[in-house]
Chains A and B, each alone.
Chain A
């Protein structure tokens, strides 16, 4: 397992790389107004600021102890939820039918999160009812009150 120090250093490196990308991508933009510093100036100076602060942070991390292990509790649950969200986006953008898909999304997540309680017909019934209630509420609210086409 990675220590907090290693994760910190990895994040500093990633942010520095991102900042370098910012500097590179605005470097060709010209100055058009007299006295103006130009379109590129602000992002460039800010990106340099991030790089300098990351360097300070990295030195601080190296001088301090390794710290605790960087733990993410229930990592599979977090990853599965992120995957479900991404899958929902893809499916919604491809097939539409938001409310039907929202019902399925809610029902699956309710059931997954409540598995430790013990799978039973009652639990599935409650999950389906709550998912249906939320979906119906969203349908009424967004179609008849706020007029958002989903």
Chain B
């Protein structure tokens, strides 16, 4: 594949601008505890309308990459992970910041993130085409089953309560069926509102579920709490010796992160912890872990950023997003009328090459922006929520309105924001809801087309080897979910029984 063919200067300049914007927002939102990756991506998504497809996709991918590193900034500087993915970095990052220097800890984090980002990008570049070629052999029944297993995995591995996560999935699928049915041209569940004839606006749904509900959560905490940090010794650089000493941990983290990223519903939260354990197991000095070990910082950071490339693989090659953040990035593809999947790789190689090249550029730019601006992002941590909340509200409103020009979408976002605020407190999964909503058209279309082609024969879903394999994976995931759920409830009941015995 000739990645450098057909590059024109102006496209490079606009793509570079989009990448820098995405990285800036990603690092900032990743660094600010409570905000994070999904809100950053959600608030940037409306800008896609004013951009070309490559620029908007790269901006969102840059935001994703930047947020993965940004989460480590507050983990190291304050000891509070900016994102859930950065939690393992607190263990050694904070310790090194206290005992050696915050700049050195941030340097291990940045070098690890960059290494992981490049590793994940290479995995994406080298595996996307073979996977897509394989996917060309898949038919509607397999795509239907792949969509189902993706949702099942998110509910099983990515949520606290399986039943509530499944309710979220079903509600998301129902939300995805709102609008005109493409098979018959009949409107469904529109309530007579023309604004939803093309379906619910993904931006208003995502902003409502993630940004507004998070804002309401923030209102439940102290609004004027201001953090402070020591801005001295923030030079972010490593010597060659330090880099080589942590290289093995970076490779371990990157390999684990890339693999975990491919799996639907797992994501960087799990891969960071696995990478931490993996690097500790392979380290010559495991006793240093938890006491400011460079490997303990570099491995989870590399895993977090490698997850991005891994997570993009099933989306680009199969058209099936495996996480809520990728589902929102899918919004940029939808806005520009692009359908990801094997056909896109076959029919639009220029776009794919631009995405791959841009993805690698994103990682390199993240390195330089991280070196230059990490201190600025660390200073942003002292902004109290009393300023952040109104600013997020205004940018959310502008984002929603600019995506469709309908006040109706603003009300939908507010309603969903309030509902999500209550549902999140009861352990429902808004991530599963959004992913299901994005997957609903793929799942329904594949299901119905398979039945039309087979003249209503349901055996079409299990009569090919591919579908049998996926079906077995579905059954195994379901069995695992049930066992996990039963064990979880038993564990919950045990202390209660012990308490009543002691009484």
Give chain A's interface residues, CB within 8 Å of chain B.
Answer: 4, 7-8, 11, 15, 19, 22, 25-26, 29, 32-43, 46-47, 49-50, 53-54, 56-57, 60, 64-65, 70, 72-74, 77-78, 81-82, 85-86, 88-89, 92-93, 102, 105-106, 109-110, 113-114, 116-117, 130-131, 134, 138, 142, 146-148, 150
- 10 contacting pairs across A/B (C-beta < 8 A): A8-B426, A11-B422, A22-B174, A26-B188, A32-B183, A34-B455, A41-B448, A72-B425, A110-B390, A130-B387
Task: Assess whether B47 is in contact with A49, with CB atoms less than 8 Å apart.
Answer: no
Task: Assess whether B390 is in contact with A89, with CB atoms less than 8 Å apart.
Answer: no
Minimal beta-carbon separation of A26 from chain B (angstroms): 6
Closest to B178 in A: A43
C-alpha gap A118/B191 in the complex (Å)? 48
Which residues from chain A contact B390 at a C-beta distance below 8 Å?
Answer: 105-106, 109-110, 113, 131
Given known pairs A46-B173, A57-B164, A102-B394, the reply for A35 and B50 (CB within 8 Å) is: no
Task: Assess whether A106 is in contact with B174, with CB atoms less than 8 Å apart.
Answer: no
Per CB-CB distance, the 7 closest pairs between chain A and chain B, nearest first, are: A113-B386, A109-B390, A148-B402, A73-B220, A35-B456, A39-B181, A146-B50
Task: Assess whether A29 is in contact with B186, with CB atoms less than 8 Å apart.
Answer: yes
Task: Give B429-480 interface residues, CB cut-off 8 Å to A.
Answer: 444, 447-448, 451-456
Task: Assess whether A35 is in contact with B455, with CB atoms less than 8 Å apart.
Answer: yes
Which residues from chain B contact A40 at a C-beta distance below 8 Å?
Answer: 188
C-alpha gap A52/B268 in the complex (Å)? 32
Given A38-B184, A77-B219, A113-B224: 18 more A-B contacts, CB < 8 Å: A7-B422, A22-B174, A22-B189, A29-B181, A32-B184, A41-B448, A43-B188, A46-B173, A50-B170, A78-B216, A78-B219, A85-B393, A85-B414, A106-B391, A110-B386, A113-B385, A113-B386, A142-B398
Given known pairs A4-B426, A65-B496, the reply for A43 and B189 (CB within 8 Å) is: yes
Task: Assess whether A146 is in contact with B47, with CB atoms less than 8 Å apart.
Answer: yes
C-alpha gap A48/B306 in the complex (Å)? 39
Which residues from chain A contact B189 at a C-beta distance below 8 Å?
Answer: 22, 25-26, 43
Which residues from chain A contact B171 at a C-beta distance below 8 Å?
Answer: 15, 50
Contact with A54, one of B167, B421, B448, B456 (Cβ below 8 angstroms): B167
Minimal beta-carbon separation of B93 from chain A (angstroms): 30
Task: Assess whether A147 is in contact with B452, with CB atoms less than 8 Å apart.
Answer: no
B163 interfacial contact with A, CB 8 Å: yes
Which residues from chain A contact B455 at a C-beta distance below 8 Å?
Answer: 34-35
Contact with B394, one of A56, A106, A148 (Cβ below 8 angstroms): A106
Contact with B401, one of A11, A32, A57, A150 (Cβ below 8 angstroms): A150
Contact with A15, one of B167, B188, B385, B395 (Cβ below 8 angstroms): B167
Which residues from chain A contact B39 at a C-beta distance below 8 Å?
Answer: none
C-alpha gap A72/B220 in the complex (Å)? 7
C-alpha gap A114/B384 in the complex (Å)? 10
Which residues from chain B contact A47 at a C-beta distance below 8 Å?
Answer: 170, 174
Task: Assess whether A11 is in contact with B426, with CB atoms less than 8 Å apart.
Answer: yes
Closest to A19 in B: B174
Task: Assess whether A33 is in contact with B183, with CB atoms less than 8 Å apart.
Answer: yes
Give chain B's interface residues, CB within 8 Å of chain A.
Answer: 47, 50, 163-164, 166-167, 170-171, 173-174, 177, 181, 183-184, 186, 188-189, 215-216, 219-221, 223-224, 385-387, 389-391, 393-395, 397-398, 401-402, 407, 410-411, 414, 418, 421-423, 425-426, 444, 447-448, 451-456, 489, 492-493, 496
Closest to A109 in B: B390
C-alpha gap A102/B395 in the complex (Å)? 10
Which residues from chain A contact B391 at a C-beta distance below 8 Å?
Answer: 106, 134
Task: Assess whether A138 is in contact with B394, with CB atoms less than 8 Å apart.
Answer: yes
Minimal beta-carbon separation of B49 from chain A (angstroms): 8
Contact with B184, one of A33, A73, A86, A93 (Cβ below 8 angstroms): A33
Task: Assess whether A114 is in contact with B174, with CB atoms less than 8 Å apart.
Answer: no
Minimal beta-carbon separation of B433 from chain A (angstroms): 12
Given known pairs A15-B167, A26-B189, the reply for A39 and B184 (CB within 8 Å) is: yes
Task: Assess whether B170 is in contact with A46, with CB atoms less than 8 Å apart.
Answer: yes
Task: Assess whether A50 is in contact with B224, with CB atoms less than 8 Å apart.
Answer: no
Minimal beta-carbon separation of A80 from chain B (angstroms): 9
Task: Assess whether B402 is in contact with A150, with CB atoms less than 8 Å apart.
Answer: yes
Minimal beta-carbon separation of B312 from chain A (angstroms): 26
Task: Assess whether B452 is in contact with A34, with CB atoms less than 8 Å apart.
Answer: yes
Minimal beta-carbon separation of B26 from chain A (angstroms): 18
Closest to A34 in B: B455
Minimal beta-carbon separation of B25 from chain A (angstroms): 12
Minimal beta-carbon separation of A55 from chain B (angstroms): 10
